[in-house]
Structure 1
Amino acid sequence: MPVRPPRVCSCGKVVPSGERCACQIIRDRERKARFDLTRPSARERGYDGKWQKARAEYLIANPICRYCPAPATVVDHIKPHRRDMRLFWSKSNWQPLCTPCHSSIKQARECRL
């Protein structure tokens, strides 16, 4: 099976195929930290005690992940609510997911939006 050759990063270092340069990892970490400083807290986004209670009830009624047979641990908003409280509380916009599916499949789909 052919292997891709190493590439040259914008910083000038040679990086093996399929790997990321240390400078890219640092830049991403810094970019995410800057974003987190501007992001409202979970409570400000609506994830308070009322949400925790509704979430627990929903997971009891819907115990299996939508994408795989694992137990659901996350109530995901199908369509991102973007602080629209009507959409946030609409149970038709909720789906049960396990943490791995929420962190991989769902996040990959949202990145394409």
Structure 2
Amino acid sequence: MGSLMERITQLEEANAQIEGLLDKICQLEEVVESLKSENLSLKANTEEAVKVGVENFRSQFEFTSDYENHQAFFVNFGARHVLTKVKELYPSLDSSLLRQTTYLLRKPKMVLANLL
């Protein structure tokens, strides 16, 4: 009988541990749901902040002389980088046509006019 009582006690302890673990799982599920909700809220707030930032940028900076100067700098930098890579990868390639294309890209007003 003693071993049966010990076995019952062990089973009761194991059952209590399982119930405790189930409670913790429920708590974790609640935390996960809360974090999902918070994540969706933060994502929506971030998207709205990006939209507002772009609108502010456009209203205060786009199509000003400062914008054109910065844009020309980055387009020129990108064009030089591409030309350098092309020369590295294809040393025998005639890159004169590519240079003409990048020259046109350095003129932001022309590019914007073509895009619009």
Q: What band does the TM-score fall into relative to the shorter chain?
A: under 0.3
TM-score by length of 1: 0.28
Q: Which of the two has higher C-alpha Rg?
A: 2
Structure with bigger helix share is: 2
Q: Which has the higher contact order (CA 8 A, sep 6+)?
A: 2
TM-score by length of 2: 0.27
Structure with bigger strand share is: 1
